[in-house]
Amino acid sequence: MADILFHPEAQAEYDAAVAWYQARSPWAASRFEAEVERVVGLIGTTPERFPSYDEENRFAVLKRFPYSVIYQVQPGRAYVVAVAHSSRSEGYWQSRV
Q: Does domain 3-83 have CATH number 3.40.50.720?
A: no
Whole-number pLDDT of residue 1: 66
At residue 11, the pLDDT reads: 98
Domain ranges of the chain: 3-83
Is the pTM of the predicted complex or chain greater than 0.85? yes
Residues ≥6 apart with Cβ < 8 Å to 61? 67, 68
pLDDT, block means (10 residues), the chain with 97 residues: 91 98 97 98 94 95 97 94 94 87
